[in-house]
A and B are shown apart, each in its own frame.
Chain A
Amino acid sequence: KHQALSWARAPAACLNFNCMLILLPVCRNLLTLLRGSIQCCSRTAARQLDRNLTFHKLVAYMIAFHTAVHIVAHLFNFEYFMDAQLNRNSSLLPFILSEIGTGDNASFLNPIRSNETNPTIVMFTTIAGLTGVAITLALILIITSSMEVIRRSYFEVFWYTHHLFVIFFIGLVFHGFGRIVRGQTAASLKTNIPDVCADQFEDWGTNGSNCAVPEFAGNPPMTWKWVVGPMILYVCERLVRIYRSHQKVVITKVVMHPSKTLELQMKRKGFHMEVGQYVFIQCPSVSRLEWHPFTLTSAPEEDYFSAHIRIVGDWTQALYEACVGDKTEPQEAWKLPRLAIDGPFGTASEDVFRYEVVMLVGAGIGVTPFASILKSVWYKRIQNNQDVFTKKIYFYWLCPETEAFEWFADLLQSLEGQMTEKGMTDFLSYNIYLTRWKETEAAHFRVHHEAENDPITGLKQKTLYGKPNWDNEFTNIESKHPGTKAGVFLCGPPALGKSLEKQCLSHSEADVKFIFNKENF
């Protein structure tokens, strides 16, 4: 009694479920919609939606695992089916079962219909076999191009290869259409009861026997019932993205910052953002298919929205040339390239204002979402004179080198100036940490130690060197703000995230509760 078929059908059922789930976490617009509506009920639930990519990957691993089990089981399965055809001995049940339906080719059980073939040929001549091969290949290619190394270095390969999922889903739906999995028909079950008749197979259909020859039919395909819903949702998601991409986006200002950072200030009708959100930007004149994510660095209170784009690869370089080129005099507005924006999409930063005390930690380029937060907090504080719930912000910026500082340092400088004007210098306390430095720079710092403004940033707050002592920082904040809930927001490497999370847990004792939030893209 070989169980190979059951071993194949079990993962197939799991695969149906997983393939249904895998499309859902990547419907960004749907998620933002859900996030907005859930937030009224439960903020923790809403925050789970931030981990959509993690979920997508987990489901993908499950699909890979179940596919492997399914294939191995079918290998055994087909071997047994082949055995049944090859051992042409009437005293063997498998052979008798294989002979059923040879005449009418409809009521058969064994999908391998003759002994003149082999499993490989059968695989390539059945719908299930062909689709199975196609979708497994698609899956393998998707997985190898999604390895972290490839994804981080050659995003285009990852993105284009990932679209093989279209082939995957089409093949998946048609995988069962050949009705290759057979079961005894209901009518036949009345005339041939398996428990009773299985041992009397030599007498089936003969006069005097209680058992007729059993008849089998193919099971109808089931997969489409599982995946059709998410497929429709995903199609809607792509349509929404296409619609958004056709809305007119106007570039109002282009600013070139030092260390190859390009700032684009844009406007779009009906665009509304929250702090710390991100958008996908497409530039048709650069590439019709590529959409790249960038954090919004402007505050919702401003009348434009902006993104600071670092020029690191092909696409950003081409974008820079389209917007700026090497013209030194200002560009005519109509010469600027047309852009399309998809988004904004929400992240955890929106929760910043719900905390009385906030710790913001940005590592390197991860400081970008905090530009939006700091600006917005400032606007709220002074312009509308609202009583902002947030009373104190501690901002930590960890950076390996001085170069990437400039545009953010400018922002901090202007904030510093405005705060001094309004006499609100202790609202924001910021600390900048240089984690790596060159010998020559260190000498320079030593000499200018006494200067009023920091030699690197020009800010009154001095730059610190090395990594912050988080234990001290947390203890410090704890002692200054007893009995409050402090939110800790990080945008940076996972290692830092783990250590901060540990600190949050260890310092969340009697009075102060530290709640950890992490950004990721």
Chain B
Amino acid sequence: MGKIEWAMWANEQALASGLILLTGGIVGVAGQFRGWQFAAYAVAAGVFVCLLEYPRSKRSKGTSVERSGQYCFTVCVKAFGPLTRNYYVRAFLHAAICVPGGFMLATVLGCVCLGIASLIYLVAAIRGEHWEPILPRKEVRKPITESIKNPPQNPPPRPPAEIRRKRVDDLEGAAYDNPISVTDNE
């Protein structure tokens, strides 16, 4: 299991935990269960975790796949600088957030899942991973790609047919210089 980036799995787990915490909280509040204050907390905590975890990090190796519409979240998360970049911070943050969820049955599942996510983030942090924002790549090759879009309207200029025909008897004489030099940009 050499080259796995644990943070990727921790991210999926944390996002799922956020959703579970949120759902448990909503059920607790809507059903007006005993201890609904914990459920209300869970709703807020769930939303916070989801917002934090929605933008995927850029992978150190290989292509990163964004979640749809994550760009605005990326900008927000990036604004917190080292707090969100460092996975130790995230690990302890999730561990702290999940504790109040353990006091009520409806939110206990979210609590345990978030705890597991926190552990995976800890592993990721120990292995030196950190969060990188996925930002759109600047277009450097624009001018060149535009020229390819328009195919040439005329065929390339060639010498008359007699010279082009293969003269197998006289290979030396059959060779001709291309009248147009071949370069990168036409």
Q: Do residues A439 and B27 form an inter-chain contact, with CB atoms below 8 A?
A: no
B48 beta carbon closer than 8 Å to chain A: no
A149 CB contacts on chain B under 8 angstroms: 8, 12, 56, 65
Q: B113 near A137 (CB under 8 angstroms)?
A: yes
Stretch among B71-79, B83-91, B177-185 lining the A interface: B177-185
Some 10 contacts from A to B, beta carbons below 8 A apart, are A75-B24, A82-B34, A118-B34, A137-B109, A140-B113, A144-B16, A147-B12, A149-B65, A154-B4, A157-B1
Residue B43 lies at the interface, judged by CB distance under 8 Å to chain A = no
For chain B residues 1-29, which have a beta carbon within 8 Å of chain A? Answer: 1-5, 8-9, 12-13, 16, 20, 23-24, 27-28
- With both beta carbons as reference points, the residue of chain A lying nearest to B2 in the complex is identified as A314
A-contact bits for B92-116, CB 8 A (1 contact / 0 none): 0000000000111110110011001
Are A153 and B62 in touch, CB under 8 angstroms?
yes
Q: A140-B20, A144-B16, A439-B184 are in contact. Are A76 and B9 (CB under 8 A)?
A: no
Chain B residues within an 8 Å CB radius of A314:
1-3
Given A443-B182, A447-B182, the answer on whether A78 and B112 have CB atoms closer than 8 Å is no
**7 new A-B pairs (CB below 8 Å) besides A153-B8, A154-B1?**
A75-B105, A79-B31, A79-B105, A123-B108, A150-B12, A153-B62, A314-B2
With both chains docked as a complex, state the minimum distance between the C-beta of B26 and any C-beta of chain A, in angstroms. Answer: 9
Q: Measured between C-beta atoms, what is the minimum distance from A72 to chain B in Å?
A: 5
A471 within 8 A of B: no
CA distance A450 to B12 in the complex (A): 54
Q: Which residues of B contact A157 (CB under 8 A)?
A: 1, 4, 9
The residue on B at minimum CB distance from A437 is B148
> Given A137-B113, A145-B9: A120 and B184 within 8 A (CB)?
no
- Taking CB atoms, residues of chain B closer than 8 Å to A335 are none
Interface string of A36-69 (1 = CB under 8 A from B): 0000000000000000000000000000000010
Point out residues on A near B: beta carbons under 8 Å: 68, 71-72, 75-76, 78-79, 82, 118-120, 123, 133, 136-137, 140-141, 143-145, 147, 149-150, 153-154, 156-157, 160, 313-314, 439-440, 443, 446-447, 450
- Residue on B nearest A82 in the bound complex, by CB: B34
B154 to chain A, nearest CB (A): 14
A-B contact count (CB 8 A): 90
Q: Which residue of B lies closest to A443 (CB)?
A: B182
Q: Of B16, B33, B109, which is within 8 A of A143 by CB?
A: B16
Q: How far is the CB of B100 from chain A (nearest CB, A)?
A: 13
Please give me the residue from chain B that is nearest to A145 by CB atom.
B9
User: Which single member of B9, B13, B113 contacts A154 (CB below 8 Å)?
Assistant: B9
Pick from A76, A133, A145: contact of B112, CB below 8 A.
A133
CB distance from B84 to the nearest CB of A (A): 20
Please give me the residue from chain A that is nearest to B3 by CB atom: A314
**Given the complex of chains A and B, what is the CA–CA distance between A443 and B31 in angstroms?**
71
Total interface residues on B, CB under 8 Å, equals 39
Q: Are B31 and A150 in contact (CB under 8 A)?
A: no
Main secondary structure of the interface of A (DSSP, over half): helix
B44 at interface, CB cutoff 8 A: no
Task: Tell me whether B62 and A133 are in contact (CB under 8 A).
Answer: no
B156 at the interface (CB under 8 A from A): yes
Q: Report how far A447 CA is from B179 CA in the complex, Å.
A: 12
Question: Are the CB atoms of B184 and A133 closer together than 8 Å?
Answer: no
Bound Cα distance A450, B163 (Å): 13
Contact of A447 among B5, B56, B164, B178 (CB under 8 A): B178
Chain B: CB-nearest residue to A74: B105
A119 and B183 contact, CB distance less than 8 A:
no
Q: In the complex, how many angstroms separate the beta carbon of A147 from the nearest chain B beta carbon?
A: 5
Q: Closest Cβ of chain B: how far from A467's Cβ, in Å?
A: 14
The residue on B at minimum CB distance from A153 is B62
Query: What residues of A have a CB within 8 angstroms of the CB of B104 in the complex?
Result: 120
| Bound complex: CA A434 to CA B20 (Å) | 47
Give the CA-CA distance A82 to B164 in the complex, in Å: 96
Q: How far is the CB of A291 from chain B (nearest CB, A)?
A: 15
CA distance in complex: A411, B78 (Å): 51
User: What separation, in Å, do the CA atoms of A367 and B35 have in the docked complex?
Assistant: 60
Q: Which residues of B contact A144 (CB under 8 A)?
A: 9, 12-13, 16
The residues of B that contact A143 with a CB separation of less than 8 Å are 16
A160 to B1, CA, bound (A): 10
Give the residues in chain B near A79, CB-CB below 8 Å.
Answer: 31, 33-34, 105
Q: Chain B's nearest CB lies how many Å from the CB of A20?
A: 25
Tell which of A120, A136, A144, A150 has the most Cβ of chain B within 10 Å: A144
Closest to A452 in B: B166
CA distance A320 to B2 in the complex (A): 16
Interfacial chain A residues near B13, Cβ < 8 Å = 140-141, 144
A3 nearest CB across to chain B (Å): 13
Docked pose: A72 CA to B109 CA in angstroms: 11
Is A440 touching B184 in the complex (CB atoms < 8 A)? yes
- Residue of chain A at shortest CB distance from B183: A443
Report yes or no: A156 in contact with B4, Cβ–Cβ below 8 A.
yes
Q: Within the complex, which residue of B59, B106, B156, B183 is in contact with A75, where a contact is CB–CB below 8 Å?
A: B106
CA distance A133 to B184 in the complex (A): 64
- Cα distance, A46 to B59, chains bound together (Å): 41
